[in-house]
Structure 1
Amino acid sequence: MEYVQLGTSDLKVSKVCLGCMGFGDPHKGMHSWTLPYEQSKKIIHYALDQGINFFDTAMAYQGGSSEEYLGRAIREYGCRDNVVIATKFHGRTLEQIQQGISAKDHIENCLNQSLKRLQMDYVDLYILHAWDNNTPIEETLEALDAMIQQGKIRYIGVSNCYAWQIAKANEIAKARHLHSFVSVQGHYNLIFREEEREMKPYCDLHHVALTPYSALASGRLAKHPGEQSQRLKEDTYAKGKYDQSYNQDLPIILRVEELAQKHHVSMSEIALSWLMTKVTVPIVGATKCSHIDTAIRAVDCHLTPDECQYLEACYQPHHLVGVMAEKR
């Protein structure tokens, strides 16, 4: 396994981050395909055995049970000091604002609840799950900085935002001597490359780590056209992100399939290998140990510049989807 620096932090992370959205009680959240604890633990422990030290979860994943499963598995493995744990929080609801709950109290409460579920004293990376339009960024940064001062957070990141928003936030943090965002977790893969317009250039210039989610487009870059899986059938949220652009994405998927055959590897390895040339670390979900093996092999699957260009050539601009479409 290769390890890289996470932005301007002192965190050394594996070139593969295990996304934990697939772990958790299927009765407690929006996904019906998530794994129960024993199966989740098996995959987490297998990832650890293969050298993966970076794990990403969120309070929103399956009603917090993803955090519970990850924390319990790490505790049973006995390796807290050797892993980098990232979790995420959402901003206040309008109802909470009307109740007079401050941003600081909300963030502290969310963090404390996550730490309780994780059975940990601190998280290495605490991520704002989506830009909070209801709270001045100054208040959010001050609240997060206070939690860093208390030793409950090491670094902070942000997910699902525009480049101008993180640029503004980090300039404010610098001016006020607060901790700034060291990473961005956005939607980025071979069939959705809108992050390349502004976010990637900003992050490359300012050494902000790119740790994208949906690295395989919820399985669409891992499957041959027409091939099915439980997630492809049941993940209605992913259908909302990708089904409308299927026809324009298909030529890219076919090129992934073509290069996979040429290199005698899986489609996942080709898609992930390409993404690894663009970002710091992709977040890769796994519901089988074989998914871990595939992600690790992608680290050593080196595409030529011409092959990367071949994969990119068919891309057409996309409308924003998922969380970013909801935030407009």
Structure 2
Amino acid sequence: MQYLSLGKSDLTVSRICMGCMGFGDPATGQHSWTLDETRSREIIRYSLEQGINFFDTAIVYQNGSSERYIGQALRDMARREDVVVATKFLPRTPGQIARGISGKQAIARSLDQSLKNLGMDYIDLYICHIWDYNTPVIEMLEALHEAIQAGKIRATGISNCYAWQLAKANALAEREGLTPFVSVQSHYNLIMREDERELFGLCAEEGMAMTPYSALASGRLSRQGNPQTQRATQDDYAKGKYNTTAAQDQVIIDRVAELARRYQVSMTEISLAWLLKKVTAPVVGATQKQHIDGAVNALKLELKDEDIRYLETCYQPHFLSGVMAQNTPRTKDQKQVWTR
């Protein structure tokens, strides 16, 4: 395993981040394809054995059971100081807004619930899951800064935002003497490279870590023919992210398969070897041990410059999909509130 510092933080993370959306009670959550606690523990134990120390979850995953499974497993299997746990909070709900719950209060309550779910005293990386247009940004920054001062979190990250939003938020944090975001988690892989337009430059300039999700494009970059997994047939979000670009994406997928045959490795290894040249630590979901093997083996694969060009040259611009398709900049009459 290889390790890097997470941006400008004092966190040291494995180059593979274990995505934990697939862990959680399938009977009570929004998905029926997730692993129960016994099977989740098997995958978590195996990932630790392979040197993975970076785990990413969210309070929304399976109604908090993902956090509970991960927290219990890590408490049983690892020393707390040896693992880096990331979890995410959601924007204020309409109900919270109607009841007069402030942005700071909503974040504080979510944080306390995540700590309870995880059974931990602190969270290493606390991530804003989706940009909140209905809360002054200063409230979010103050809430996170106060949590760091209280020892409840060590660093902050952000997910699913535009580069200009991240730049303004961190500039506001610097101006007000608050803690800036050290990492960004976005939708990025070989067939979705729109973040190269703006976000890559910002992160490079500011020394921010990139930990993208959907590293294998919901399995499309790991196998030919996209055979239907249980998740693929049941999860509308996973199904809808690439449906409109299937033809142009297939050209790149075919090239991944060709290189995999040439190097005698899996398509997963080719796709992640490319991604590892671009980012700090991709978030890789795993529900089978072979998924972890493919991710770890990618660290050993060194693609040549001509391989990189061969994989990249056919890319065509994509419309934003998934969560980012819903993150539409406000019109003038819905302008984001940054300060009070």
Task: Specify whether residues 78 and 281 from structure 1 end up closer, same or farther in structure 2 by C-alpha distance, changes over 3 A only.
Answer: closer
Post-superposition CA distance 1:122-169 (Å, at most 9, x none):
000000001111111111000110111110000000000000001001
**1:76 Cα shift?**
1.1
2-side partners of 1:268 and 1:119: how far apart?
Answer: 33
Question: In the aligned structure 2, how far is the partner of 1:257 from the partner of 1:228?
Answer: 18
Q: How many residues align?
A: 328
Distance 2:226 2:22 in 1: 23
Residue of structure 1 equivalent to 2:184: 184
CA positional deviation for 1:28: 2.7
Distance 2:67 2:307 in 1: 38
Query: Superposition RMSD on alpha carbons, in Å?
Result: 0.9
**Distance in 1 between residues matched to 2:288 and 2:139, nearest whole Å:** 41
> Corresponding residue for 2:199?
199
Distance 1:53 1:78 in 2: 9
CA distance in 1, matches of 2:317, 2:50: 37
| 1:92-241 alignment runs, 5 A limit | 92-241=92-241
Matched, 1:15 2:15: yes
What does 1:39-58 correspond to in 2, within 5 Å? 39-58=39-58
Task: Quote the offset at 1:305 in angstroms.
Answer: 1.2
Distance in 1 between residues matched to 2:302 and 2:243, nearest whole Å: 30
**Correspondence 1:258 to 2:254:** no
Q: Alpha-carbon deviation of 1:242?
A: 1.1
| 1:173-227 CA distance string (max 9 Å, x none) | 1111110000000000001011111001110111110000000001111111253
Q: Secondary structure at the match of 1:217?
A: coil
Q: 1:226 to 1:283 in 2, by over 3 A?
A: closer
> Does 1:294 pair with 2:294?
yes
Which residue of 2 is the match for residue 303 of structure 1?
A: 303
Question: For 2:230 and 2:94, how far apart are their aligned partners in 1?
Answer: 35
Pair 1:175–1:242, CA change in 2 (3 A) = same
Residue type matched to 1:305 in 2?
A: D
Q: CA deviation at 1:81?
A: 1.4
- Residue aligning to 1:71: 71
Q: What is the identity percentage for the equivalent residue pairs of Structure 1 and Structure 2?
A: 58
Deviations 1:229-271 (A, max 9, x none): 2222222211111112111100000000000000000000000
Q: TM-score, normalised by structure 2?
A: 0.95
Aligned to 1:5: 5
SS at match of 1:319: coil
- Partner secondary structure for residue 51 of structure 1: coil
Question: AA paired with 1:235?
Answer: D
* 2:326 pairs with 1:312: no
Distance 1:110 1:123 in 2: 12
Q: Distance in 1 between matches of 2:162 and 2:133?
A: 12
Distance 2:86 2:217 in 1: 21
3-state SS in 2 of match to 1:181: coil
- Three-state SS of the structure 1 residue aligned to 2:117 is helix
Q: 1:226 to 1:156 in 2, by over 3 A?
A: closer
Could you tell me whether the CA contact under 8 Å between 2:219 and 2:226 is conserved in 1? no
Which amino acid letter does the alignment assign opposite residue 45 of structure 1?
Answer: R
Partner of 1:246: 246
Asked if the contact 2:220–2:226 (Cα under 8 Å) also holds between the matched residues in 1, the reply is no
Alignment of 1:82-101 (within 5 A): 82-101=82-101
Q: Give distance in 1, aligned partners of 2:234 and 2:223.
A: 15
**How far apart in 2 are the matches of 1:28 and 1:210?**
32
Letter in 1 for 2:253: I
**Alpha-carbon separation, structure 2, partners of 1:30 and 1:195:** 29
Give the secondary structure class of the aligned counterpart of 2:323. helix
Write out per-residue CA displacement over residues 21-71 of structure 1, whole angstroms, 9 at most, x where no aligned residue.
Answer: 000011333322100001000110111111100000000111111000000
Provide the C-alpha distance between the structure 1 equivalents of 2:50 and 2:275, rounded to a whole number of angstroms: 20
Deviation at 1:75, TM superposition (A): 1.0
Deviating more after overlay: 9-18 vs 28-37 = 28-37
Contact 2:103 2:136 in 1 (8 A): no
Instruction: For 1:25 and 1:246, locate their aligned partners in 2 and report how far apart those are by CA, in whole Å.
Output: 32
Residue deviations 1:258-295 (CA, integer Å, cap 9, x gap): 00000000000000000011111100000011111110
- Please name the residue that 1:271 is paired with: 271
The CA distance in 1 between the partners of 2:109 and 2:194, in whole Å, is: 34
Separation (CA, whole Å) in 1 of partners of 2:121 and 2:198: 36
The amino acid across from 2:233 in the alignment is: K
- In structure 1, what is the Cα distance between the partners aligned to 2:239 and 2:302? 30
